């Protein structure tokens, strides 16, 4: 099953370049055909006295219209010169067609685009523990922007290539052009190696289908889905989404917060939207063999060493403990909720992770 999925992803990646490869392959075959025909023709005209290298040389200088002289025995006969005329015409036509085709590929940007897509697919193939964002609309862009600020690896997926190119230029993330509701598209985005997936497509049925496919491919994947209709909330959860977000509900709650707690909201808004602000909240899980495991917060000196504050933690039973004391011992599997600069939070994630990762 896994091999079949990889095969599908490979076919999707190759299909984007097949048309260009077909055109270039045909051009190569045309040029090679002219050279072989010319060489064989001169060999036939020259007989045993004509060497293969001389015949090839005669063909090349004829096709390229260089004309250094007739080096093949018999080329100066009527038959030889008629053959040379026909070969020159065919050779010039073939070279002209090849030049015009290559020029068209370069001018239209198809060749550069194909090479860029190949480079991008290789980049995606090398990613792991990354996040896939399905849908590059306004919601998807906000997701990508925040993930990039948090120094996470991201792959964008959408059917609109122009929109994806804008996202790629703005946030320097690789992308896959395709329908996210197709299994092959998600495989091309590296879903088997991904850490999480966001689906923010335009309709609930599309988001539902993405959740179903993603969950079937990678059961360990964390999935966050957008629900446009409140009725779709439960369906998305049943399909396999870990979290379902209702933008209308969140918008309403924010409006109330703006009215009741304007200073708090201003602080959060500035933190999230100000491009100069790199402070964020993050969660970090202690790995079994982490150097932080079985040590107290006091002994770790996280504020002094990393400049991060541990505001709360979730224990192995799922209980959320606020304002942990300095004597709190960090156990494997415990999830810390920390606040600090994104670069320092990244260092904290590395410190809390496995030594053998």
263-277, pLDDT tens digit by residue?
887 777 777 777 777
Check residue 281 and report its DSSP letter. Answer: E
Band of pLDDT at residue 4, cut at 50, 70 and 90: very low
User: What is residue 13's predicted lDDT score, i.e. its pLDDT?
Assistant: 46
Query: Minimum mean pLDDT among 155-159, 252-256, 319-323: which range?
Result: 252-256
Ordered by start, the domain boundaries in the chain are: 2-112, 128-245, 278-352
Q: 317 is written with which tokens?
A: 């039973």
Check residue 287 and report its DSSP letter. Answer: P
Query: Minimum mean pLDDT among 209-218, 245-254, 259-268: which range?
Result: 259-268
User: What is residue 16's predicted lDDT score, i.e. its pLDDT?
Assistant: 47
Q: Is the pLDDT assigned to residue 356 strictly greater than 60?
A: no
Across 204-220, b (16+ Cβ under 10 Å) vs e yields: bebbbbbbbbbbebbee
Q: Is the pLDDT assigned to residue 121 strictly greater than 50?
A: yes
pTM for the model: 0.62
Distance separating alpha carbons of residues 320 and 310, to the nearest angstrom: 13
pLDDT in tens, 167-186: 999 999 999 999 999 999 99
Q: What average pLDDT does range 115-131 have in this prediction?
A: 86
Closest CA to 326 of 290, 292, 357, 302: 302
Closest CA to 13 of 185, 156, 210: 185
User: What is residue 8's predicted lDDT score, i.e. its pLDDT?
Assistant: 44
User: What is residue 112's predicted lDDT score, i.e. its pLDDT?
Assistant: 60
Distance separating alpha carbons of residues 350 and 357, to the nearest angstrom: 9
Band of pLDDT at residue 15, cut at 50, 70 and 90: low
Q: Indicate if 128-245 has the same CATH topology as 2-112.
A: no
pLDDT in tens, 221-245: 999 999 989 889 999 999 999 999 9
Distance separating alpha carbons of residues 284 and 332, to the nearest angstrom: 11
Q: Is the pLDDT assigned to residue 17 strictly greater than 70?
A: no
Q: What average pLDDT does range 72-90 have in this prediction?
A: 84
Band of pLDDT at residue 190, cut at 50, 70 and 90: very high
* Angle (deg, nearest 10), helices 110-125 and 2-46: 140
Q: What average pLDDT does range 50-77 have in this prediction?
A: 82
pLDDT averaged over the chain?
85
* Range 128-245 has CATH code 3.40.50.720: yes
User: What is residue 317's predicted lDDT score, i.e. its pLDDT?
Assistant: 83
Q: 212 is written with which tokens?
A: 């179903």
Q: Is the pLDDT assigned to residue 336 strictly greater than 60?
A: yes
User: What is residue 12's predicted lDDT score, i.e. its pLDDT?
Assistant: 46
Beta strands, E only, 141-181: 154-158, 175-177
Q: Residue 257 belongs to what H/E stretch?
A: helix 247-260
User: What is residue 114's predicted lDDT score, i.e. its pLDDT?
Assistant: 65
Q: What average pLDDT does range 314-326 have in this prediction?
A: 89
User: What is residue 115's predicted lDDT score, i.e. its pLDDT?
Assistant: 67
Q: What average pLDDT does range 8-14 have in this prediction?
A: 47
The topology (CATH level 3) of 2-112 is Helix Hairpins (1.10.287)
Distance separating alpha carbons of residues 263 and 213, to the nearest angstrom: 42
Q: At a CB cut-off of 8 Å and minimum separation 6, what does 77 contact? A: 45
- Report which of residues 109 and 125 the model is more confident about: 125
Q: 53 is written with which tokens?
A: 């290298």
User: What is residue 3's predicted lDDT score, i.e. its pLDDT?
Assistant: 46
The topology (CATH level 3) of 278-352 is Alpha-Beta Plaits (3.30.70)
Q: 21 is written with which tokens?
A: 């490869």
Band of pLDDT at residue 43, cut at 50, 70 and 90: confident
Query: How many other C-beta atoms lie within 10 A of the C-beta of residue 273?
Result: 11
């Amino acid at each position: 099953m896994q091999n079949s999925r990889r095969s599908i992803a490979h076919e999707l990646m190759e299909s984007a370049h097949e048309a260009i490869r077909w055109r270039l392959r045909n051009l190569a075959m045309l040029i090679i055909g002219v050279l072989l025909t010319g060489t064989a023709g001169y060999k036939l005209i020259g007989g045993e006295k004509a060497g293969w290298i001389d015949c090839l040389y005669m063909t090349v200088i004829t096709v390229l219209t260089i004309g250094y002289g007739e080096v093949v025995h018999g080329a100066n006969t009527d038959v030889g010169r008629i053959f040379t005329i026909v070969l020159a015409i065919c050779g010039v036509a073939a070279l002209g067609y090849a030049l015009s085709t290559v020029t068209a590929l370069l001018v239209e940007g198809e060749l550069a685009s194909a090479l860029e897509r190949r480079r991008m697919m290789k980049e995606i193939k090398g990613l792991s523990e990354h996040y896939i964002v399905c849908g590059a609309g306004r919601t998807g862009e906000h997701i990508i922007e925040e993930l990039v600020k948090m120094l996470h690896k991201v792959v964008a997926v959408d059917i609109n290539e122009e929109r994806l190119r804008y996202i790629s230029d703005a946030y320097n993330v690789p992308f896959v052009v395709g329908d996210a509701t197709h299994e092959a598209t998600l495989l091309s985005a590296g879903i088997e190696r991904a850490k999480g997936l966001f689906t923010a497509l335009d309709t609930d049925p599309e988001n539902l289908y993405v959740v179903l496919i993603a969950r079937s491919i990678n059961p360990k994947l964390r999935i966050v889905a957008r629900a446009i209709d409140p009725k779709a909330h439960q369906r998305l959860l049943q399909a396999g989404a870990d979290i379902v977000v209702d933008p209308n509900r969140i918008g309403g709650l924010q409006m109330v917060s703006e009215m009741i707690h304007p200073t708090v909201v201003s602080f959060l808004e500035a933190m999230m939207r100000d491009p100069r602000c790199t402070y964020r909240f993050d969660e970090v899980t202690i790995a079994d063999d982490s150097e932080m495991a079985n040590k107290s917060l006091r002994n770790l000196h996280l504020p002094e060493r990393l400049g991060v504050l541990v505001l709360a933690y979730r224990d192995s039973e799922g209980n959320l403990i606020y304002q942990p004391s300095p004597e709190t011992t960090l156990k494997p599997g415990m999830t810390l909720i920390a606040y600090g600069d994104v670069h320092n939070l990244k260092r904290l994630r590395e410190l809390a992770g496995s030594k053998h990762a």
